[in-house]
């Protein structure tokens, strides 16, 4: 028996569709990227400077792909919901949802950066391996940059999630 509540029957607004599209494309692009980057860094090791440089340049590829996908999917949502939906001015509800999402993303970024630093500091000082990586790999500039980049991407995932849920809940 299907459960059709009023919440499920409500059509999604343009801004909600953009939030869901942003969330899904971010997850689809960055989860495999970080898995690949960490595995590659563990195999490559910190002593190869070329590997670190290639990893840094590979970080730009998902960003470009994400923007191209967001533009394409945003245009599809624009045409599916009608041109009128995207031209609606943001009201107080939209501003409140955006403020709540930005606040949650900022807090998650601060917590991830702080917890990440203070969690890794004892490993660095003790010389023990963490996450299956030696301390030389874990604290190389490339891996620290990947950790910082992961914190920013996680904050964006939190932001898109809070936006999508806020629009679905209606506040």
pLDDT tens per residue across span 85-127: 556 676 788 888 889 999 999 999 999 887 776 776 666 666 5
pLDDT reported for residue 1: 43
pLDDT reported for residue 2: 46
Higher pLDDT, 52 or 76: 76
The mean pLDDT of the chain is 75
| CB count in 10 Å sphere of residue 75 | 11
Tokens of residue 149, six digits: 């980049």
């Amino acid at each position: 028996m299907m459960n059709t509540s009023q919440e499920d029957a409500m059509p999604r607004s343009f801004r909600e569709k953009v939030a869901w599209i942003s969330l899904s494309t971010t997850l689809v692009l960055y989860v495999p990227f970080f898995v690949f980057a960490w595995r590659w860094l563990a195999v490559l090791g910190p002593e190869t400077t070329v590997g670190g440089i290639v990893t840094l340049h590979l970080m730009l590829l998902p960003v470009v792909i994400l923007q191209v996908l967001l533009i394409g999917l945003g245009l599809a949502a624009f045409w599916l919901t009608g041109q009128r939906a995207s031209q609606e001015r943001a009201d107080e509800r939209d501003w409140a949802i955006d403020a709540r999402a930005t606040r949650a993303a900022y807090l998650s970024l601060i917590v991830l950066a702080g917890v990440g630093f203070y969690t890794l500091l004892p490993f660095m000082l003790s010389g023990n391996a963490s996450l299956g990586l030696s301390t030389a790999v874990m604290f190389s500039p490339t891996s620290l940059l990947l950790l910082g980049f992961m914190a920013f991407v996680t904050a964006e995932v939190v932001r898109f999630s809070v936006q999508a849920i806020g629009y679905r809940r209606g506040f």
